[in-house]
Amino acid sequence: MTDKAADWALPIIGQSSRARVTPNHYPALTAKFKEAFADPDAKRAAARKIAALTQTTTTSEYVTEFRNLMAELDWNTEAYIAQFTRGLHWKVKELLSTKDNIPTTT
């Protein structure tokens, strides 16, 4: 941890270690940290990123990046499917179009 995050957290961590804070206090610390440093517009940023996401590498890497962005959003299933399909490489879409049953699980 460096810069502003370190300036903010190190005194709290030091105080916590002297007070022998138990692991169940860490969620509160995490919440305070996110409150201080998290992107207040994370959902909008994730929505922009997922809308711009296209498959330029392996399908596995595309799926991983897509799922990471999904974790920050609360869209419905149909919206995820539409966006996922839109970003797939055209060769993958072509291959999927030849299949009788397209997997529907996530």
pLDDT in tens, the chain (106 residues): 567 777 777 776 676 666 666 556 677 777 777 777 777 788 999 999 999 999 999 999 999 999 999 999 999 999 999 999 999 999 999 998 898 876 666 5
Is the same domain home to 19 and 49? no
Distance CA(32)–CA(20), nearest Å, equals 18
9 lies in which domain range?
Answer: 3-37
Is the same domain home to 28 and 70? no
C-alpha distances in Å from residue 21, one per residue of 1, 6, 7, 29, 51: 20, 19, 20, 11, 42
How many structural domains are present in the chain? 2
Q: Do residues 46 and 33 lie in contact, with contact meaning Cβ atoms separated by under 8 Å?
A: no
Q: What is the pLDDT of residue 42?
A: 86
Asked whether residue 79 is assigned to any structural domain, the reply reads yes
Is the same domain home to 48 and 25? no
